[in-house]
A = this chain, B = another copy of it.
Amino acid sequence: MKIAFIGLGTMGAPMARRLLEAGHDVTVHNRTRVREEPLAAAGASRADSPAAAAQGAEVVFTMVGDSPDVREVILGPDGVVHGLGEGAIVVDHSTIAPSVAIEVANEVRARGGWCIDAPVSGGSEGAERGTLSIMMGGDASAIERVRPLLEVLGSTLTRVGDSGSGQLAKAVNQVVIAGTYAAVAEGLTLAMASGIDVEATLTAISGGAAGSWGLVNRGPNMITGHYPLGFRTRLHYKDLGIALDAAAQHEVPLPLASWVAQQELALLRRGFGDEDVSNIARLAREAAGIDALPVAEASEED
């Protein structure tokens, strides 16, 4: 299938590569053009603009930073809509405001195309392995038409409603991560401060009602106080902002997510924005005045 992929960052580049390796005719474009080169070397065509990339493509993928970037790339002067053919489908994998996703989808529809909001979770590892969870909002038949392509990128594909709904589901995902990581950080801080065997405690509680992905996969790093990526605090803070704005529009109070966002802002302020978001444990630990445990050899592998 002839497709375009716009936005070749940490997530976009491996996603575009997977589509290329699945045998599709892929045209790529990235604002910083040099990032197109590795994909061109692997067989992709290059385009000078989003509009040019979209020309002749049946499906156009976008994976950029935030709401203004999506507006620019899809609706701007050189945007996708200026090259998009009748009936072509835009799949936006960016995490943006649900209201902007709706606005963009309406505009694309008015010009004869379809736009699906399809934010993902699963990180760069998920992008490389094709195991992303893709949360989708938009026309159900358009989603069915792109499903074979999305199966190259993700292992869980879920339509949750009309345009904007995928972004709301992603917001829910980030809200749950916020509080869950905060809970793990607080519990492990108590364990460390009270002098019990923290690693044994982690093992003992992981299998029960306290268990979570964050506890199992980020707990060990919280204990040793090093926070390799993962998912940047800076980006999670951006996503929580989207979630809090969307919640405010629906008049839904999110006191816990709001509190975590403030903690993440403090981490950004102090220069920790590019660590993994599990670094909320820094603040819990510092509040208790305790040091991280030495990194054991076995933990270095993460």
**Chain A residues within 8 Å of B, Cβ to Cβ:** 98, 121-123, 126, 133, 135, 137, 156, 158-161, 165, 168-169, 171-180, 182-184, 186-191, 193-197, 200-201, 203-205, 207-215, 217, 231, 243, 246-247, 250-257, 259, 287-289
Contact yes or no, A169 B204, CB < 8 A: yes
Q: A168-B194, A177-B209, A209-B214 are in contact. List 10 more A-B contacts (CB 8 A).
A: A135-B205, A156-B207, A159-B200, A165-B194, A168-B196, A173-B204, A173-B210, A179-B180, A179-B184, A180-B212
13 contacts between A and B (CB under 8 A): A122-B208, A160-B201, A161-B195, A169-B200, A169-B205, A173-B204, A176-B186, A176-B187, A179-B184, A180-B212, A182-B256, A193-B252, A212-B214
Report Cα–Cα, A214/B168, bound state, in Å. 21
Contact yes or no, A213 B204, CB < 8 A: no
Report Cα–Cα, A137/B168, bound state, in Å. 45
Q: How far is the CB of A146 from chain B (nearest CB, A)?
A: 17
Which residue of chain B has the shortest Cβ distance to A278 in the bound complex? B209
Contact yes or no, A176 B205, CB < 8 A: yes
Report Cα–Cα, A183/B190, bound state, in Å. 19
Contact yes or no, B213 A213, CB < 8 A: no
Contact yes or no, A257 B186, CB < 8 A: yes
Contact yes or no, A190 B211, CB < 8 A: no
